[in-house]
Structure 1
Amino acid sequence: MNELHQELKAFIIETMNLEDVTPADIGDDTPLFADDGLGLDSIDALELVLALKKKYGIVIEANDEGSRQHLRSVNSLAMLVSAQREA
């Protein structure tokens, strides 16, 4: 899954326009939305969800409590993408 992790890191950087961040700067378990992680906010979450739908065909419901868990880190996103590919 390491290739998928790298792909997702590059995807996040491109989608969020993180100019000073490289894939090496993002740990697999780094929180995407915490201040001690990438520090993304709720608007970023919406952009990321739309981009995931466009690129991977993944639909994440806003009212789904599991949505926060899916967007927690690169690892959680990788599990979601992998599950979608297997389905």
Structure 2
Amino acid sequence: MSNEHAKNGNDFTPIIIDNKPYKAPKSPMTGSELRALAVPPIASDYELWLEMPGDDDDKIADNQAVELKPGMHFYSVLGQINPGASDGTL
């Protein structure tokens, strides 16, 4: 029932993206829709992750639908992290 309310704009699902609170207007939402909900929107060179209990979080693909629950925490990280990489200059 709450999903139907969210679709009609009468209800929102409170979620967190990058430590900021947002009100998701519907559920489920795709990774692309969640990226666009964030302010500023999450850039395409960043990955979107869902915090999970324990050590393993879930990477959310752009086309992946996520059934939202109140209080879900998402975060973004740079997709290509290359520590110690050299640009060729010394």
TM superposition score normalised by structure 1: 0.31
Identify, as 1 or 2, the structure richer in helix.
1
Identify, as 1 or 2, the structure richer in strand.
2
